[in-house]
Chain A
């Protein structure tokens, strides 16, 4: 699997957009980018995934660069409830069953 690199932590003001970067320079053509988050004392929660096109759902937007070597998760209007650890994961969609979580980015949304 391609390795991902994320900042250890970041702060964001409530109501502002939070932009979470992820580098995956060794990504293969058939690997998807997935984002999960883990709010304190809860199980991880799937947010969004994409292959090469930008994606948007009710939770967030995912922007993938044209060369696919990096991506950005955007939380459009961060709330205090978005404070969590965010994980960027790269996986081949249909290949085996292992989902490997790294250290992630600890995002703190401040009032």
Chain B
């Protein structure tokens, strides 16, 4: 059973297009995250949602819009894709208000390539 799943695994698209990445977790966690890992391999948090409410937005361009239809899902929609958006995007989840907050479970990643 996959704990955190993402679709698609690979996404190749043209500049200017709009695309979405989906994430689902079956761990019953209240908190979900999106991270971006660029070509230099640094992993940076983008967004965090707790019980469908946005709690972290790390100066990400407005072209990125997360949406959480329920606490098991956190999707990432990207408008007007740019070359610099090419990266691997990871979804993660954890359970807050305990030390296990930092036991984050990561998905397999979505490699986005913008041409």
Contact = CB atoms under 8 A, between A and B. Distances in A.
B90 A49 contact: no
A38 B37 CA distance: 12
Nearest to B106: A43
Interface residues of A, number: 22
Contact of A97 (B44, B56, B90, B108): B56
A85 interface: yes
A40 to B, nearest CB: 10
B75 interface: no
Interface stretch (B61-69, B77-85, B93-101): B93-101
Given A49-B99, A93-B99, A94-B97, A101 B105 contact: no
A45 B58 CA distance: 22
Given A93-B99, A103-B42, A98 B48 contact: yes
Contacts of A94: 97-99, 101
Q: Which of B50, B58, B99 has the largest number of chain A CB atoms within 10 A? A: B99
Contacts of A103: 41-42
A5 B23 CA distance: 32
Given A43-B90, A43-B92, A44-B90, A98 B104 contact: no
Given A45-B106, A94-B101, A99-B45, 12 more contacts: A34-B102, A42-B108, A43-B108, A44-B92, A85-B41, A93-B102, A94-B98, A94-B99, A97-B50, A99-B33, A99-B102, A101-B42
Interface of B: 4, 31, 33, 41-45, 48, 50, 55-56, 58, 90, 92, 96-99, 101-109
